Structure 1
Amino acid sequence: MKHENILLVDDEQGILDILELLLQKEGYTRISKAMTGQEALHCVQNSDFDLIVLDVMLPDMDGFQLCSQIRWHTQVPVLFVTARSSDLDKLTGLGIGGDDYITKPFNPLEVVARIQAQLRRQGIYKALAAAEAEPAVWDYGLLQIYKDEGRIIVNGTDIHATAKEFELLLFLCRRPNRVFTPSQLYEQVWQSVYLGDEKTVVMHISKLRRKIEQDPKQPRILVNLRGIGYKFVPPGGGRGVR
């Protein structure tokens, strides 16, 4: 028996039932289900989940909008499962905090396999975090990054960031002044094979700059070395550890 809590969100009862059945066969018994965005949001506000499977086309709320609201409460993996299959939809889903994007019609066994892969990855992250004994706060004066709380503070103000934006910034600040190519960042942060499309990385860097840079058009923290990649330059030159 496995102890992860999983939330399934879809307005089709049949999809919920078959995913629940297959997950139960794999030993997952802590499964919650919701058929509307409001039901899902209520679940997230009142329970802790390890993973969320989320449809985009819900009767009362766009799934992308719902994901943004979910990210105010939790940074757990969100897997979109939807009939919306355009490249723009995929980029939107991943850009607002989704960790995977599966289009309908789908093979239910593949969805379960991807759920298990995300949960395994989360387990590895947790184990590594516990072993590394990393500082809880990266403090650069005007910029603070609270690792355990998933918070970014700029000039004393909390800045909202998606899960991937936070992971990307944390990955870079752990390795100050090191240059990473878009492919390296994608494979390390997204934990997926890089297929040559830089848009995802560029979009996340651009959004982070708008949130943490004094002048996003002339960035001094998330610096681009043209033709090479990106690096994190600690504000004030300090290490920021406390």
Structure 2
Amino acid sequence: MRLLLVEDDDHVAAALSAILARHGFQVTHARNGEEALQALLPAGAPPFGVVLLDLGLPDQDGYEVCGRIRKRTATPVIMVTARADVRSRIHGLNMGADDYVVKPYDTGELLARIHAVARRTGASEETAAASGAPATVILGPVSIELPTRRVSVDGTDVPLTRKEFDLLALLAQRPGVVFRREQIISEVWRTSWEGTGRTLEVHVASLRSKLRMPALIETVRGVGYRLVAPAS
């Protein structure tokens, strides 16, 4: 698997690259945000399986880099940082990160998280392809193109993070049907960790804002959420 390591400390990068290489990863090292974005650009190059993104970069904030990566690719992003507070984690996930690892970390745990994120990504794409579901879901002015992960409202593209798209696509499978919070967290985040509940609320709020349709996703108090198809 090709892996993009975004880390400004050459000593840390060299040590981590050596460990990753021993476990079969082809590592490309970027020292700042611009190098990372350039590494993701070349047409025809094999895609990266995962991006390991340090937040303390010299040229720009790692959160900003994550947001810019999300506009270019759906490649999974794991944030690696010393910022351990809950607000920073929520912000990172809301910016499009697929996982968040706090320094200092155990190398074995980091490797497990890399494989888990890559496995979840591959499994979700294979499931969508094999399900026989329509390639595009139309809900009033909202168009959801599943193969390209493109969402538009009245013909205007709306950029979403990976998790925002996954959440919207899940609810759009059965408009009007209530999805329990536990079910959403299990299918979108692939975890049962209770702390993810706050992250779910953040993603729902972000979707309502980006789509400019607050009534599209209805909160069913004490149960979960459902997608209310707009009237034709």
Q: TM-score, normalised by structure 2?
A: 0.92
Q: Is the 8 A contact 2:32 2:59 kept in 1?
A: yes
Q: Could you tell which deviates more after superposition, 147-156 or 162-171? A: 147-156
Q: Secondary structure at the match of 1:45?
A: coil
Mark the CA change 1:194 to 1:178 in structure 2 (over 3 Å): closer, same or farther: farther
8 Å contact kept, 1:183–1:196: no
Q: 1:134-153, aligned counterparts within 5 Å?
A: 134-153=133-152
Amino acid at match of 2:34: Q
Deviation of 1:183 (Å) = 2.5
Paired residue for 1:43? 39
2:13 aligned with 1:8, yes or no?
A: no
Kindly indicate whether residue 173 of structure 2 is the aligned counterpart of residue 177 of structure 1.
Answer: no
Tell me: CA distance 1:82–1:178, structure 2 relative to 1, closer, same or farther (3 Å): same
Q: Which runs of 5+ in 2 are unaligned?
A: none
> More deviation in 74-83 or 123-132?
123-132
In the alignment, what sits opposite 1:240? none
Which residue of the partner structure matches residue 25 of structure 1?
22
- The one-letter amino acid of 1:223's match is E
CA displacement at 1:8 relative to structure 2: 0.7
2:227 pairs with 1:232? yes
RMSD of aligned C-alpha atoms?
A: 1.6
> Which amino acid in the other structure matches residue 163 of structure 2?
K
Whichever residue aligns with residue 218 of structure 2, its letter is V
Distance 1:95 1:10 in 2: 21
1:42-100 C-alpha deviation (Å, 9 max, x unpaired) = 01122522210000010001000000000011112110001111111111101110111
Please report how far the alpha carbon of residue 141 of structure 1 lies from its aligned counterpart in structure 2 after TM superposition.
3.7
Q: Which residue of 2 aligns with 1:34?
A: 30
Once residues 111 and 51 of structure 2 are traced to their aligned partners in structure 1, the CA distance between those partners, rounded to angstroms, is 12
The structural deviation recorded for 1:236 is 3.2
Q: CA deviation at 1:201?
A: 0.9
The DSSP-based 3-state class of the residue aligned with 2:72 is coil
Alignment of 1:85-234 (within 5 A): 85-196=84-195, 198-214=197-213, 216=214, 219=215, 221-234=216-229
Q: Secondary structure at the match of 1:115?
A: helix
Mapped partners of 1:158, 1:108: distance in 2: 39
Letter in 2 for 1:236: A
Distance 1:210 1:203 in 2: 11
Could you tell me how far apart the structure 1 residues matched to 2:134 and 2:98 are? 25
Task: Give the whole-Å Cα distance in 2 for the aligned partners of 1:11 and 1:170.
Answer: 36
- Provide the identity percentage: 37
SS in 2 for 1:236: coil
Q: How many residues align?
A: 229
Alignment deviations for residues 106-162 of structure 1 (CA, whole Å, 9 cap, x no partner): 112221111111112222223222322332211224110111222111112111111
2:53 aligned residue: 54
Q: Which consecutive unaligned segments of at least 5 residues does structure 1 have? A: 238-242
Residue 183 of structure 1 aligns to a residue whose secondary structure is: helix
Q: What does residue 82 of structure 1 align with? A: 81
